[in-house]
Amino acid sequence: MRVAFYAPLKPPDHDVPSGDRRMAQLLTAALRRGGYEVELASRLRSFDGAGDVARQHRLGVLGKCLARRFIARMRDRPVSQRPRAWITYHLYYKAPDWIGPRVAAQLGIPYVVVEPSVAAKRAYGPWAIGHAAVVAALGHADVALAPNPADRAGVEPCLRDPGRLHSLKPFLDIAPYEAALRMRRMSRLAYSRRFVLPQGEPWLVTVAMMRPGDKLASYRVLGEALARLRHRPWRLLVIGDGAARKEVEAALAPVATRTVYAGALPGESLPPILAACDVFVWPAINEAYGMAILEAQAAGVPVVAGAAGGVSEIIAHDRTGLLTPIGDAGCFAGALDRLLSDDERRRTFSATALEKTVAAHDISAAASSLDRVLQALIQGRA
């Protein structure tokens, strides 16, 4: 059975890695695992990061044009080769869906949104057009799936009825991480040589794009926190790159001699690197849930993170990691200090992190959940 898939922020085959692209890739993989043929409906990036009203207007016009073209192509196909549902991933005021609602309405197929968010304060101001488009799209949605429970309050009033909102836990394919854990000792030796990291010291790791805004703010909190822990032995491995590289390096300058920059790395290289490390660190300012945090937990790595958004859905506080107040460098440093001083606690967190990820966040469970939702919608249209 064929479904149309669209990610207005970043398509799954985009050349720049990010948590958003990773989740789009995982969603398509989960759909295929459930037996669906996934058609990438469009690569249009509707993202407007500057609040440019003219750009939002142009994107809206282009989206309507692309919707008409897609509808025409589908009507030229046999019915058996048309999509039976439209799925849009990550809908918010900076990246609305100008295509899906029109296509779904014209083709008479269900419109499904995964990870929508609504910020009421954007109803006025430079992103009012994008905000209005998100609200309109949610008004057409047959189902909205929310990985981040913090989004529910904003999304629910925009739906035709509250019963259309369902939870979908963030997920990934656990198998590569379990395999990486079995090779931890060998990987640690290899990465010790590659990144010049002393094996006798704890390795901290973070994975994040380097861009202005919340990511840079998180790096700054991290730098401030780590500067308070120079009395302890540790090394920091930073995986990621981006336009704010110089600002990130400045934020981490107080611990520059203990920091190694690995740059942006392909997703398939992350499981063995994460499994070789001791603690994942990320202040997570305004983070939805943090795909990299979930990946760290899958690799059995304890996490110290800010308690933002859905991060607490991934980290079980004091069982798989430690959550700290958002933006509080002192509390973050204190939590990390306690974890670094307790080897047994880190080992316990590691084992529990893997157990929790297998039980609650594996791609197989997500595939089953998506299939149940889609089958109910498609059969309801039959």
Which tokens hold the place of 180? 């990486």
DSSP 309-354: TTHHHHS-BTTTEEEE-TT-HHHHHHHHHHHHT-HHHHHHHHHHHH
Pick out the chain residues at pLDDT < 70: 382
Structural domains in the chain, sorted by start: 2-171+362-381 (3.40.50.2000), 175-360 (3.40.50.2000)
Q: How many residues does the chain have?
A: 382
Amino acid at 277: C
The pLDDT of residue 305: 98
The pLDDT of residue 242: 94
The pLDDT of residue 101: 98
The pLDDT of residue 12: 95
Rounded-to-integer distance, Cα 117 and Cα 101, Å: 16
CA atoms within 13 A on the CB side of 67: 18
Report the predicted TM-score, pTM, of the whole model to 2 decimal places.
0.88
Kindly list the distances between the CA atom of residue 217 and the CA atoms of 36, 213, 254, 255, 258, in Å, as whole numbers in the listed order.
40, 6, 16, 17, 20
The pLDDT of residue 324: 98
The pLDDT of residue 290: 87
Rounded-to-integer distance, Cα 194 and Cα 62, Å: 47
The pLDDT of residue 382: 64
The pLDDT of residue 267: 86
Residue 171 neighbours by CB under 8 Å, 6+ apart: 26, 30, 294, 361, 362, 363, 365, 366
Given a contact cutoff of 8 angstroms between Cβ atoms, the answer to whether 284 and 311 are in contact is: yes
The pLDDT of residue 18: 83
Amino acid at 118: V
Which runs of E-coded beta strand occur in the chain?
Answer: 2-6, 37-40, 86-91, 111-116, 143-146, 165-167, 203-207, 235-239, 259-263, 279-282, 303-306, 321-324
